[in-house]
Each structure stands twice: as C-alpha cells, then as structure tokens.
Chain A
Amino acid sequence: MQFDMQGIRKAFGATQALDGVDLSVASGEICGLVGQNGAGKSTLMAVLSGALEPDAGAMTIDARPYAPRSPIDARRAGVAMIYQELSLAPDLTVMENLLIGAEPTLTWSRVPGLRSLVPGLVDWRAMRARASAALAQLGHDDIAPDAIVGDLPVAQQQLVEIARALAIGCRVLVLDEPTSSLGRADVEHLFALLRRLKAQGHAIVYISHFIEEVQAITDRYVVLRDGRNVGGGATADATADGIVALMVGAQASDLFARGARQAGAALLEVAGFEPGSATFTLHRGEILGIAGLVGSGRTRFLRALFGLEPVRAGRVRIGAYAGGAASPRARWRAGMGLLSEDRKNEGLALGLSVADNLTLSRLEPFGPAALVLPGRQRRTAAGWIARLAVKCSGPDQAIGELSGGNQQKVAIARLLHHDVDVLVLDEPTRGIDVGSKAQIYRLIEDLAAGSDARPSRAVLMVSSYLPELLGLCDRIAVMQRGRLQPPRPAAGLTEHELVLDATGAAGRS
C-alpha cells in the first residue's frame, strides 16, 4: 500500500502551519520525517491520520482519492497513527485491547448488516485465537493475550498498540517519537520489528528528533521547516550535519535589538539539582536560556525548581534563601516567579477575571488584615493592563475571553505585580501572535536591563524557538535527555550547534 500527499495546506488563525507540503511513501519503505519543534510534522501527520482536515491539497492511497474525516475513517482506509502517549485501555487485557470495537461475537445472524444490530455475545475463544495470531505475526508470542495491559512494560504496550493497528488491517503506520520512553535494548527490538514490517510491504513514516535513529532505520528522509518541504533524499547519502543544516536553515534574528546589560550579583545559584543534573549561577541583569527538545526534561526541571514537582537532590540559593526543595509559596516569598508553559490548564483560571488572575499570588496590598478591597485590586490590575498594553474591556473581564497574547501578558504581569527578582519563564511566547511576541521580547529585555526606578532582574527561560533564545539570552544551556549541559555564552553559538547538541548528534556526522 502506498500513499501520496500533495500540496497540503493548513492554517490555524494567522499561523500557516502547513504551506503546501508533499509527502509520499511507498509500500516496503520507511520514511523519516524530521524538523524542529513547530516545523509542521505533527500537523501533517494529523492530516494524514484524519484528526485534522486540510485547507487545501490532495491525498491518495494506492492512487485512489483519500479524504478521511476522522481517525476511525483513516484506520478503515488502512492508515494508523501510533502516538507517543499510547491510547490503550490499561485495565483491559491484551486481547480486548487488540480487538476493541471489533470483538468476534457469537452471532445467530450471518447477515453482515444485521450483525451490528444484534447484541452479540463475545466469542472469547475466537478472540484469544485471533489475538495470539496477531502477536505471533509480530514475532512476539511472548506477550500473553490474557495479560492486563497496564501490567506490561512500556515497550510491550507499544507492541500491543502496533499489533492492534495491524489486526484491523492497517498497512500505513505512522510512528511519532516511538523511542522516547524506551531503553536501548527495546529500541533494537522495535527496529527489528519495523524492518520485518517493511519486508511485509507496509509503508512506515518514522518521526524522530534523534538524527542517529533516522539514520539507523529509515530508507529515505524528508525535512520540514516552517510548514514547507526544505529537502530530503536517500538516508544512505546524508550526513547528520547535512540534515541539521536543512532543519535550521539560514535565518536572520533582527527581531532582537540587544541593549547593553550589566551582569550584577548572583541571584540564583543551583548546584547538583535533580531532576535535570543542573548546576549554574544566574546573575542580576542576565537572561539565561535553556534549549532542548520537547520531552528532554526542560519543563520538569523548571517545575521542580519552583516546587511543583519532587526534587531528588541538590541545593538552591535565591537571594537570602538557601535550601533544597520548597513549596511554590516559599519560592514566591524568596523572590522567584514561574510562568507556566501550559497557560490554559495551569497558568490561568480562565473563568476568573483579569484582576483575580493577575493578583492572586499577592493579595496582601489590597486591604488590612485578610481583606481584599475590590477597588484597590481593580486599580492595581488596571495599572498593569495599561503598562503592558493588554487588550481587554477592563480588570473585571473573564480572562478566557482574551486572545492568547493578551492572556500571556496578564500571566507575566503576575510576576511583575509580585515584584520578583528571578523570573522563570517556560515557553513565554508559545501560541501567541507576532505583535504580542515582539512586545514580550522587549519587556523581557527591559526587565533584565532594569531602570532608575527598579534595579535589574534575572531571567531564566526555556524556549523551543531557537532564534528567540539566541536573540535574547546572554548565555544558553542545552538540556539533553534529562541532563542540563553547562551554559555557554550565546554570542558564539549558532542554531546549528544548538540543534546538534540537543539531538545528541554532536561529534558524529
């Protein structure tokens, strides 16, 4: 079975996620799909697997038109997506998972149309036999059909997921970062399986951030950047350096006008911190960036540093405070504030007003004792709304009604209202429009530079958008598979080097 996608376009609001992408994979071929975070890989695969409808473009399977309206549609047409987060029912057995929605039944009607209308009794014997056959076909009869899926190791769960796709007749498989939670030996087993499936004539799309994996398993590779095809070819002819060069491209970073900043006293010292294996010092007037792949442990490190996730080891000194693990409350008190990467689920309460969202961490100024006088709270919020040019009808508007960029400004204003010295920003410009982005860049620079009224602060930021890190930061550290490398001055770094570091492809080509 072979599929072909031509000129696929998809926009989300003002963002053109896919701008005329082509991809075709033949039967018996493994094609690697690579690109930086946000290059459009996931969107393209969502279109292929029926989760998104493209704005324009044509798709065919075996030269027949293919336009799935849902993932179920796509599966019926033979296309299955194996996601990073497995979509299995953990409390059910392997065979139930394999044949979910297609359970063999003891029907008394042989008329196919009636079969779904008649409430059938499950034919457990046939179910076990079919599940065993499907697992044997994969070369994994070591997995018992009666085992509870939740009890299996992740690698075997992944096999069940793949077996399910094959059991319902899928011949096109899309694997999205399949090795992210696998150990070394399991990766080898998976690769062996993929080679067998290839030999059986399946068409496989393999998405990975790890260039070495793409080189090890794929026949061909396709590189996306900013929603466009920017290159590709036979994997055998490519070098890691060449692939990274295509992923990065040549980009100018003139959005950023770096002002003169003076690094002052140390504000944040982190030593031997786990998770993250982090050791660094952040100074007043400094912006330190953390680069790395999505899932490399950047967010986990920031959240643990702020007390939202368990700390396994290490010491932290913030201003006058010194210690290890602490609650978010203690972190705020010590002068540290966190901007969450997950604005909707953690950063903001969408049903509450702008004023409540902005001031929640510090309500003390709004009245004596435990009182919060709404007039004072509203005035303070209105002040920040004006200073950061937040577009809203006023402090009482529910924040869920604002655009993403304006929501983000309010989330940042919370740190300013609290007047913290150390700002920890996780993806500060994710999902916001270009205009708001530029304003937030300027704001971050102003905060680090300080003014006559307010001494400079320190900023620790994570971003998946490398031009942003290179343009803003004084120093950049790369998070690689859960370990934070020592920070290096940003002036001497290029996107190319950062991608090589992050993907672990440095030192080979």
Chain B
Amino acid sequence: MTRRSLVDRAGTFIGLVVVATIFGLVVGSQFYAPGNLELMARQAAIVCVAAIGMTVVIAAGGIDLSVGSMIALTTVAIALALKAGMGPASAAAVGIGAAALCGLVNGILVTQLKVVPFIVTLGTMLIVRGAAKGLAEERRIEAPFTWLNDLLRTQRGPALLPAGIWAVVAAALVIAAVLRYTRLGRHVFAIGSNERMARLCGVAIPRTKIAVYTLSGVLTGVAGLLQFSKLSVGDPTVGVGAELDVIAAVIIGGGSLTGGRGSVAGTMMGAAIMTIIQIGCSQKGLANWVQQIVTGAIIVAAVALDRVRSAKGR
C-alpha cells in the first residue's frame, strides 16, 4: 500500500462526515438514533456486499455489469430450491452457487476470448437476466417461509444487528484482509496497475482474473440472498440497474476504473454515503428525483476531486 491510498481513503471519509453532518442538521438528531442507523445499514447491505466483490474486480482493472442480473437469478434459484422442498441452507447454497457460476463464466470469457470485460459482462448481463426470467417463467416465484426471510430482520437481544448485516461485516473483513495480506491481493493490484508488468513478473494472469470474477460472483450471490430475504419471493425482474449503484459505491470509495486502486473500507464508506443521501432525502420528504440528482452530483464530484488529488501527486 502506498501513501496515496491512505489519502484516497481520508478523502472518502471526509465526504462521509460532511454528508452525515448535513443530513443530521437537516433531518434532526433522530437521524442518528440507533434504530435509524440500523435502518440505513439494512438498506445498504445488498449494494454493500456486491460492491465488496466489485472492488476486487475494479482493482484488477476489470468491470462487471452483470451483478444486477445475478442478484435476480439468485433470488429465483433460492425460491425454486425452497419450492422443490430443499432446506433453507441448501437453497441458499444453490442460489450463491448459481451466482458463483456466472462469475466463473465471466472470468473464463474475459481471459479466454480476450474481449474487454465491459463487453463480456454487458453480454452476460442480458444472458443471465434472460436465464432468470426463463427459469421463473417470467413470474414471481412464491416460496415457503423459512428463516432465510429473517436475515435482515431487526434483532432483539445479544445479536444486536440482523444476521445479514453481520454477514456483510464478515465479508468486508475477509476481503480487506485478502487484498492486503495475500499473494492474490498483491497480484490483483499488480494486474490492475500494469498488466504488462504483471505478465513480465510471472503473475498467472488468467487464473487470477478468473478467481476475481468468481469471488465477485459469490459475493453477489450473498447480495442476492439478502435481496430474497427482503422480498421473500424469487423475482426475475429485481435488481435492474443495481450494477450501477454497486459501481458507484466503489468509485465514490476511491476505486479507479483504470484499475490498480480501490479499497474495501473506501467502498463501504461509498455505499454509506449513497444510503445516507437516499434515506435522508426520503425522511426529509424530498422527492426521489432530488435524491437521484444529489447522488449523481456526488459521483461526479468524487471523481473530479480524485483527478485533482492525483494531479497533485505527480
């Protein structure tokens, strides 16, 4: 890690503090009440966990536009598995496995066809969406009620937070450690910074990229599981455009679409900033269009600030 990435994270942190302060003043002190914070955490969880996977993809110089479709496929797969009489744990595994398979296919296509990931995942975005609709026969799939539906439910007692939120926190810690403390993590940044150098240094580029896209698939599967928990049905039309929220969280968090930069902590803060704007605007009674304009402005401002910072760093 260079000194630059510390600066990047400080910038996102300041942004988070500013946004939180503004909405705290506008909405009032109840904005910081534990119940409201938990509401925001529940709201952020789905984008957050997918964005953790996307952070790794973007740090490796890639992009994955198919995550929204993968979330829909996961909800459909879980609902079908439950309906077929599988246990909740096996059904969750089937859903996450389906998303992991999509990620694996993305990785294989990107490395073997040598087509840029934007195009490959633009294609798989449509293919996976189509597959989800086909499996569900273009309908929502009702599923029996199980503990999977409680993953984002408020907990009373020692757990403090819903299990789903703990899962996101655990995923964040694990992926942050993988990026920082393993060979895979160092190889991810090397490929994203300069793929030619990584090749010169003997980094196994196809294997690393396939691992990255598969990892992103697994985390997107977890996002899909949380989405199912919230909906309690399998919905092949859910998550349209979710990939853009996910990518936005990574970019606000200091990730660079040219690769080589990005951190889990930054991404979490990026997702937090977007959620605060969303919840804050709706609690203030502002219309959805205001919230969209503010979020869009934040994205442009984050990238513009980043330009200024990196220009000074040279």
Contact = CB atoms under 8 A, between A and B. Distances in A.
Interface of A: 306, 308, 327-329, 331-333, 338, 340, 345-353, 356-357, 360-361, 363-364, 367, 370-374, 396-398, 400-401, 414
B198 interface: yes
Interface in B177-203: 180-187, 189-190, 193-194, 196-203
Interface in B89-106: none
Contacts of B201: 328, 332, 360-361, 414
B182 A360 contact: no
A372 B185 contact: yes
B169 to A, nearest CB: 22
A235 B46 CA distance: 77
A360 B2 contact: no
A347 B200 contact: yes
Contact of B190 (A329, A350, A360): A360
Contacts of B184: 370
Contacts of A329: 202-204
Contacts of B4: 351, 398
Contacts of B199: 308, 328
11 contacts: A328-B200, A329-B204, A332-B202, A338-B200, A348-B194, A349-B260, A360-B190, A360-B201, A361-B201, A361-B202, A371-B181
Interface string B141-185: 000000000000000000000000000000000000000111111
Contacts of A308: 199-200
B313 interface: yes
Interface string B195-231: 0111111111000000000000000000000000000
Q: Is the interface of B mostly helix, strand, loop or mixed?
A: helix
A370 B183 CA distance: 6
Contacts of A398: 2-4, 313
B149 to A, nearest CB: 37
A370 B202 contact: no
B204 A360 contact: no
A401 to B, nearest CB: 8
Contacts of A347: 197, 200
A8 B194 CA distance: 38
B196 A360 contact: no
A360 B180 contact: no
B182 A370 contact: yes
A373 B181 contact: yes
B189 A352 contact: yes
B194 A345 contact: yes
B261 to A, nearest CB: 7
The CB with the most chain A CB atoms within 10 A, among B194, B198, B260, is that of: B194
A340 B198 CA distance: 12
Interface string B13-38: 00000000000000000000000000
The CB with the most chain A CB atoms within 10 A, among B183, B187, B204, is that of: B183
A396 B1 contact: yes
B314 interface: yes
A445 B251 CA distance: 48
A224 to B, nearest CB: 33
B17 to A, nearest CB: 26
Given A360-B190, A370-B183, A373-B181, A346 B200 contact: yes
Nearest to B314: A400
Contacts of A345: 194, 196
